[in-house]
Structure 1
Amino acid sequence: MLDILSITGPIYLSILLGLLATRNGIFTKNELQVLGKFVLKVALPALVFSSLAGRPITEIFNTTYLAAYLIASLISLIIGYYSSRYVLKENRLAATFNAMGVSCSNSGFIGFPILLLIVPDVAGVALALNVIVENLVMIPLLLIMAERSCSAGHAMLGKTLIGLTKNPLMIALITGTCVSVMEIPLPQAITRTVELFSRASGALSLFIIGGTLVGLSVRGMNHQIFPVALGKLLLHPITILATIWVLLKFGFPPLETDLHRAIIIMAAIPMMGTYTILAQAYGQERTASAIMLFTTMLSFFTLSGLLMVI
């Protein structure tokens, strides 16, 4: 148990530090946005690029990982949506954002720092594979569902798709893959510079997550947030395990041990950091914020339990 706490402890202490620093005025929400921008546009892209450029292409695009993560995320989305509609009796728009909360992980700000502590050799590759699934399939699909549910925020999908072409993470993904495929040798000055920036992402990401939790509240919303939190922290990883089992029966190659642990952890973390931002465009930010706060708090216990068994 102490071994598990030695892993999860630094993660949640970093989140707590960000929360306390922001609550006590050391950092403002606006300053956190600047730090977040640095992580999203510089540190994480540098990490993705260095992880991909230094590996053979066969090692990067793991078909079992991609297929398992995509299929399991889609299944979680479907379960999250229809259980919200017909069990919780939510409207279509609320059900869509519940489904987003259940199926989209915070791969960059929470998942990657955790993997750095547990399976550092595959942390960058797992992040890159998650970026592919989440940015090319899950987020566009969920925004299409949101568009069909209401007329508000009608430009959000178009902006998101256009933004993908300018997204530093996607650019890093493409350029890193090209370097890997063409086996281009990079000068040490470049690789060391990229690695220097990539190391800044872990602690900063967790600190920022803590700061964003300041001011959020879960009062009076238990019936809405509890099912989504359990769906994200339990349903998503269980669906991953079931999907991998089925894929192996269909002849897909097994995941190596570290990647197998990585994909389960990536599914068992809270929802993506942009969850509340996307929800705000459709008037769902209050519920989304409460869900994110509760899920982050609950994940300390669920992740600690998970790490004891994998």
Structure 2
Amino acid sequence: MLAIFLKTLPFFALIGLGWVAGRIRFFPEEATAWLTKFVFYFALSAMLFRFAANLSLAEIFDTGFVLAYLCGSALVWIVAMAVARIRGEGLAPAAMEAHTAMTGNTGFLGVPMLVVLLGVQAAGPVLMVLTIDMIVFSSLVTMLITGARQGRVSVALLGALAAGLLRNPMIMSMLAGLAWSGLHLPMPAPLDEFTQILGAAATPGALFAIGASLAARRAAERVAPAVWLSFAKLVLHPAAVAVAALWVFAVDRYAAGVMIAAAALPVAGNVYILAHHYGVAQARVSAAILISTAASILTVPAVIAWVTGA
């Protein structure tokens, strides 16, 4: 456990460095926004393209793996939705809480960290988790919130969701990489080195940006729901995914371990972007991101130690 903690410590130290820089205003919110844009559109996309270009669809997509992650995540989603409704929340805020409880920071934290800690072969399972989160659950919460406000889900909304996915650089970079691999195209040395150099900026850039963005968040409002959502994300989500992967669908042990580790990641920052865009549950989502990220310094190493037997 100590060895895993020490391995994860540099990643969280980078987050802490970003938090300090943001907190003392050496790195203001505007700078954080531009750094995030660079990582999202360029560095992380280059990393994902390079990973996908060296994988086949068969290495990424496995029916049992997909079903295990979907079922485990859906169970947590349903529990969080039920808890919110019992507290008297409307459909839109309840859906946002459900989304918060099972959407981890797979893109900015999981891809860089888990590939380093669990090996390059972890790239395929991590990309599959990222794809399911973006395509299935992000679409679900958008449809529920919009449907709750408009009273229906229109064809125009479905078209907008599809267009949004196609404009997402992470989705497009993965699709481009898989297409490159599927067509058995050679990877020219200059292109390989270009994506390697640019992709290498994703890890420090993403972690620093996470920390800097956390500096602007507060946990003073809606603390109780935020603590519950953080518990659901850091404990219930990996537990539910573990049961589904190891005992229900009998997923390959290594792939299941990567999936469980990905499920143990703290709440993703893009959940707040959705909450802010729709004006729903912003305070509790923001607090859950802050609390879950701080607590994950201890919980993520514990989960990784368990799945690796360290």
TM-score (norm: length of structure 1): 0.90
By how many angstroms is 1:58 displaced? 2.2
**Within-5 A mapping of 1:166-205:** 166-205=167-206
Conservation of the 8 A alpha-carbon contact between 1:101 and 1:271? yes
Cα deviation digits, residues 35-77 of structure 1 (max 9, x gap): 1111111112211211121123322223332222222222221
Q: Distance in 1 between matches of 2:278 and 2:158?
A: 12
What is the correspondence of 1:62-141 to structure 2 with a 5 Å cutoff?
62-86=62-86, 88-141=87-140
Distance 1:181 1:158 in 2: 27
Describe the superposition over 1:238-266 as per-residue Cα deviations: whole angstroms up to 9, x where unpaired: 11111112112xxxxx3252x22211111
Contact (CA 8 Å) 1:47, 1:197: kept in 2 or not?
Answer: yes
Give yes or no for contact 1:53–1:177 (8 Å, CA) kept in 2: yes
1:134-173 matches, within 5 Å, as 134-151=133-150, 159-173=160-174
Does the 8 Å contact 2:221/2:283 carry over to 1?
no
- Within the alignment, does 1:291 sit opposite 2:292 as a pair? no
Q: Which runs of 5+ in 1 are unaligned?
A: 249-253
Q: Which residue of 2 aligns with 1:206?
A: 207
What per-residue deviation string (whole Å, max 9, x for no partner) do you get for residues 118-176 of structure 1? 11313432332123212211101111111123359x99876543222122212212121
Query: By how many angstroms is 1:19 displaced?
Result: 0.5
Return closer, same or farther for 1:119/1:103 CA change in 2, 3 Å cut-off: same
Q: Which residue of 1 aligns with 2:37?
A: 37
1:78 CA displacement: 1.2
Cα separation, partners in 2 of 1:157 and 1:271, compared to 1, 3 Å: farther
Cα 1:209–1:158 change in 2 (3 A) is: farther
Kept after mapping to 1: 8 A contact 2:221/2:287: no
Moved more, 177-186 or 12-21: 177-186
Partner in structure 2 of residue 281 of structure 1:
277
The residue identity in structure 2 corresponding to 1:246 is: V
SS in 2 for 1:183: coil
Q: Distance in 2 between matches of 1:186 and 1:215?
A: 42
Q: 1:79, 1:220 → 2: CA distance?
A: 23
> 8 Å contact 1:143–1:157 — kept in the other structure?
no
Counterparts of 1:157 and 1:56 in 2: how far apart (Å)?
Answer: 29
Q: Relative to 1, partners in 2 of residues 1:27 and 1:306: Cα closer, same or farther, differing over 3 Å?
A: same
Specify the code of the residue in structure 1 equivalent to 2:294: M
Contact 1:76 1:99 in 2 (8 A): yes
Contact 2:46/2:199 (8 A) holds in 1: yes
Instruction: Report runs of 4+ in structure 1 exceeding 3 Å deviation.
Output: 154-161
The percent identity for this pair of structures is: 27
> AA paired with 1:243?
A
Kept after mapping to 2: 8 A contact 1:110/1:205: yes
Q: Does 1:305 align with 2:302?
A: yes
Task: Say which SS state the counterpart of residue 281 (structure 1) adopts.
Answer: helix
Q: Deviations over 1:270-294 (max 9, x none)?
A: 1222111110122222221111111
Q: Distance in 1 between matches of 2:300 and 2:57?
A: 31
Q: Distance between the aligned counterparts of 1:12 and 1:34, measured in 2?
A: 21
Query: Could you say what the CA RMSD is over the residues aligned between the two structures, in angstroms?
Result: 2.1
Change (3 A) 1:55 1:282: closer
Contact 2:222 2:283 in 1 (8 A): no
Query: 2:260 matched to 1:264?
Result: yes
Which amino acid counterpart does residue 288 of structure 2 have in structure 1? Answer: I
Tell me the CA shift for residue 221 of structure 1. Answer: 2.3
Task: Measure the CA separation in 2 of the matches of 1:94 and 1:124.
Answer: 33
Separation of aligned partners in 2, 1:197 and 1:66: 30
Kept in 1, the 8 Å contact 2:50–2:177? The answer is yes
Distance 1:276 1:156 in 2: 21
Is the Cα–Cα contact under 8 Å of residues 223 and 284 in structure 2 kept in the other structure? no
**Secondary structure, counterpart of 2:269 in structure 1:** coil
Gaps of 5+ in 2: none
Tell me which residue corresponds to 2:17. 17
**Paired residue secondary structure (2:116):** helix
Conservation of the 8 A alpha-carbon contact between 1:47 and 1:124 = no
Tell me which residue corresponds to 1:251.
none
